[in-house]
Amino acid sequence: MSIRNLDDLLAEGVSGRRVLVRADLNVPLDKQTGEITDDGRIRAVLPTLGALVQAGAKVVVCSHLGRPKGAPDPQYSLRPVAGRLGELLDAPVHFATDTVGASARTTVDALADGQVALLENLRFNKGETSKDDTERGAFADQLAAFGEAYVDDAFGAVHRKHASVHDVPARLPHVAGRLVLREVEVLSRLAGEPERPYVVVLGGSKVSDKLAVIEALLPKVDRLLIGGGMCFTFLKAQGHEVGTSLLEQEMVETCGNLLARAEGKILLPVDVVAADAFAPDAAHDTVPADGIPSHRLGLDIGPETVAGFTAALSQAKTVFWNGPMGVFEMPAFANGTRGVAEAITKTDAFTVVGGGDSAAAVRALGLDESSFGHISTGGGASLEYLEGKTLPGIAALEN
């Protein structure tokens, strides 16, 4: 894989030049206050932005946030992000109240060397996500007019064929930012010949969301540990009753086939925390995985499962983790995720957290981020990379 990177661009000189940076600033916001609840993705892009600022570039940042319907929607405004980004850069971030309109043009034109502007949410324009090449291309033309060079540092979006990710690089000299370069390096290591034993931990809600990556990883891994809501479909495939737990009935046969092909590689929970309801204060206790009461649902893996997963992880030389083990947002059902995460940090392995809810759990549970080898910013992108798919944003940088 041959991709020019930020250092190549800096070596050419960017002082006084406008550099358009596609960042992934899709951070969670509190629905009541509108405040940012996790600024991890903002901090992840700081090395790239800081290098451009120091080199005297006029930095124009663009990003999406949430899933607006192709029109302005105040609840998805990037304004709070501009404020937090300015705090982290210790310099004002000039905010444009539109993406490619009058405010954006005025804001970009007014930038001095070493200053940063943030455009409003890309997805306020339907051209960003359009499946029509002409419509998407027209929006890309407008965005590209704000830069003399393009930097993609939005790994969390490289699996999307969107204007700012796929089409703009064709219109400008383009490079990968520090974050994207690191993500590709790390995931290439996992996709190649990782040091063994190679242990993968998968959680989250649905088997259907992870089926492709399970299919891709199963021949390569030594152990595959499965928790989260998806484990109940596997338990059902083993013939166990799962009460009112999350279940994808249409995937039961598929899970049975995977278990048969896995030849013992797949390790499932032996106990779960079962509750009366999906609620933080619901009555709950730990029960065997093959003895979930009919009126209860599993919301976490149990302590025996954590111990078994810990033992499997203890010998690993490479670990990839994607998906929480339970409903970690509720303290009563966070112990499984915490226990497995702590076990990962105590190994001698090269450890990768596959973004998404896993990365959110690391921060929400107050775990030391530096104790993991790498925490990805792209859950979906990291999984698709490991599935062997062509990612539109990466392919655009290679061209």
Which residues are catalytic, by number? 41, 206, 356, 380
Query: According to the annotation, is 326 in a ligand binding site?
Result: no
| Annotated binding residue 67 | yes
Written as one letter, the residue type at 83 is G
65 is in an annotated binding site: yes
Residue for token digits 């088997």?
Answer: 207
d(CA 170, CA 233): 44
Cα angle for residues 350, 356, 357 (degrees, 5° grid): 95
* 5 annotated binding-site participant: no
Flag whether 90 is marked binding: no
Q: 296 labelled as ligand-binding?
A: no
What 8-state DSSP symbol labels residue 390? Answer: P
Contacts of 263 (CB under 8 A, 6+ apart): none
Pair of tokens at residue 44 = 């992840």
Pairing of strands 318-322, 350-353: parallel
> Would the annotation count 171 as a binding residue?
no
Residue 316 CB contacts under 8 Å (≥ 6 apart), including other chains: 197, 198, 199, 222, 223, 347, 349
Residue 162 assigned to a binding site: no
d(CA 191, CA 249): 31
Does residue 399 have a known ligand-binding role? no
Q: Check the annotation: does 25 bind a ligand.
A: yes
160 annotated ligand-binding residue: yes
3-state DSSP assignment of residue 296: coil
Q: Is 210 annotated as contributing to ligand binding? A: yes
Q: What number of other Cβ atoms are within 10 A of residue 89's Cβ? A: 16
The answer to whether 125 is a known ligand-binding residue is no
Instruction: Say if residues 308 and 331 touch (Cβ distance below 8 Å).
Output: no
Asked whether residue 24 is marked as a ligand-binding residue, the answer is yes
The phi and psi torsions of 118 (rounded to 5 degrees) equal -120, 125
Tell me how far apart the alpha carbons of residues 145 and 167 are, in angstroms, rounded to a whole number. 13
Tell whether 64 is in a known binding site: yes
DSSP 111: P
Residue ranges for the known binding site for substrate are 24-26, 41, 64-67, 123, 160
Binding residues for ATP: 210, 298, 329, 355-358
Binding residues, by number, are 24-26, 41, 64-67, 123, 160, 210, 298, 329, 355-358
